[in-house]
Structure 1
C-alpha cells in the first residue's frame, strides 16, 4: 500500500508548474516502501522433519493385537529398552510358540512375541536429542562387562504392571543370575543418571515367548504343566550373552562384551 496519495495535476496548472513539481517533489515510485522480505527469504526454506516424526502416531489397540500403551505416545518420545537377543535358541523357541498357540487355541488367543530377547531394563522414554548421549553413556558403562554362555530353564507366567497383558516366558537358569546381575548393575546406574526407572527389584531375567490381552495369570498357571511338557521336547535352550542391545524406536545399538 502506498504511504502517500498523489492526485493528478490540476487542469489550470501550467506546464512550467508541472515541470517544477516533477523536479522538486518525489515521485510515487520513490516514496513507496520496499516490500518486506518473506519469512522464507530470512530463514531459508522450511526444514524437512526427520522421517521418525513425519506423522503423528494414533494409539489404536486394534492395530497391534489389542495391546495398550503403558505411556501416552507423544511426538519426540522414543520408547527405549536394553536387552540381550535370544538368537542362539530362537528356532527352538519359535517351534514352542507354534505348539503352544495350537494347544490353547480353544481356550485362549495367544500371540507370539516377534522379538525374542531377555530384557535388562524397563521400557522408558527418551527424547530424540538424548539418544546419542545415552548410547555413549551405556557403551562406557558396559566397557568392563564380561560375556558368558547361559541357558533358559522352564516356564513362568507374568503380567505387566497394569495387568492388561499376560505373558508366558522362559526364565534364565538360576545358575547364571549372578553373572547377569553383574551386567545389569551398570545399566541401572545409567538409568539412574538420566533419572529413568531402574529394573525391577528383585530382578527376574526371562525371555517372553507368548502373550494375550488381559489378566489371564490364573488360567495360564493352570496350564503351565501342559506347556512345560511341550517345551521339554526341545533341547537345552542356550543363551549367548556376548552382546547387549539398546532399542530406541526404530534405532538399535549394539555393545559387544569382553
Structure 2
C-alpha cells in the first residue's frame, strides 16, 4: 500500500514540535497539570536551519516541496498525543517489526520521540503536502474554519486496525503504519471531503480522491474489508505512522510484522476534538462541535 506524501512523513521543510520537558527537581507525587492543547501549536516547528534541500540535516530525507519565496507548504491533519501507557505500547511495536541488526539492513527511525527524547505528536493526514501563496493564506483558513463550523462534526474516537509497512509513491521511504477503524458516524470521510473541497477552491489537488489515490484505496481495501470504493469511502486509507526507513523492509521483516499480536493495539482509543491546518510554521487549530457531545 503506497502512502500519500504528507508533511511529517515526507516534507522536511519543517520539523515536529518539541514539547517542554518536565522539571527533574520536583520529587513530589503530584503530577504537573497538562499543557493546554494550543501550547503545542505555538511550537509546531523549530528554527529553520536551511532553505536548501540538504538531506544530511534530516537523516537522508529529501524535501518534497522546494522552498520558493511566497510559497507556503500547507498540511491539514488530525493530531494525537498518546497517553503514557499507549505510547509505551506503540514504542514496543517498532523493534518487534524488524529483525535484529545482524539480520537486516533496515534502519528504522521512530516518529514517537525527538532526538532529545521529547514526545512528538502523531497524526492522520487530511491533505497532501500542498502549497498556498502568501495572499491565499487568510482566505483559505477562513473558508476552512467556516466549513468545519457549519458541518457540526463533533469530537470523535477511533481505534487502530492493521499494522503494516507501506512506501511513499516514489519508494524513497517506507513507513511503519497502522490503519484506523471507521468511526461510527463516518467523521473521517466527512472531514476529508471538507478538506478536499476547501483545497479545490484554491486549485490544490485532493487527498485520495483522484485516480492515483483510487489505486491506493483499492490496495488498502484488502486491509480494511469495510472500505467501499464505489461510494467514496476512503476509510481504509486513513493511517498513523510510527516509524520510517530509507530501506525497503525485507521479506523477513514483513513476516515478523505479520506475527505480532495486535489485540492490545486495537484496544487503544484515539480521540480527536479539532483539525489542524499548518501553513508554513503557523498552526491553526479548528475545533469540532463539542456542543453535540
Q: TM-score, normalised by structure 2?
A: 0.62
CA positional deviation for 1:81 = 0.8
Pairs within 5 Å for 1:1-258 = 57-89=51-83, 92-93=86-87, 95-97=89-91, 99-101=93-95, 104=98, 106=101, 107=104, 108-113=106-111, 114-143=120-149, 144-147=151-154, 148-176=156-184, 178-201=186-209, 202=217, 203=234, 204-216=237-249, 220-226=253-259, 228-229=260-261, 231-234=262-265, 236-258=267-289
Q: Are the aligned partners of 1:171 and 1:205 in contact in 2 as well (CA < 8 Å)? A: yes
Distance 1:56 1:181, change over 3 A: same
Deviations 1:61-106 (A, max 9, x none): 1110111122322233222111111225575245423551476351
Runs of 4+ residues over 6 Å off in structure 1: 52-55
Q: Normalized per residue, which structure has more helix?
A: 1
Q: Which structure has the higher relative contact order (CA within 8 Å, separation 6+)?
A: 2
Give TM-score, length-normalised by structure 1.
0.69
Q: Which runs of 5+ in 1 are unaligned?
A: 1-51
CA distance in 2, matches of 1:55, 1:127: 22
- 2:29 maps to none
What is the distance in 2 between the residues matched to 1:232 and 1:82? Answer: 30
* Structure 2 unmatched runs, 5+: 1-45, 112-119, 210-216, 218-233
- Computing the radius of gyration over CA atoms, which structure comes out larger, 1 or 2? 1
Question: Structure 1, residues 97-132: CA drift from partner, whole Å, max 9, x if none?
Answer: 355147635122111124301111111112233222
What RMSD over aligned residues (CA atoms) do the two structures have, in Å? 2.8
d(CA) in 1 for partners of 2:86, 2:271? 14
Alignment size in residue pairs? 205
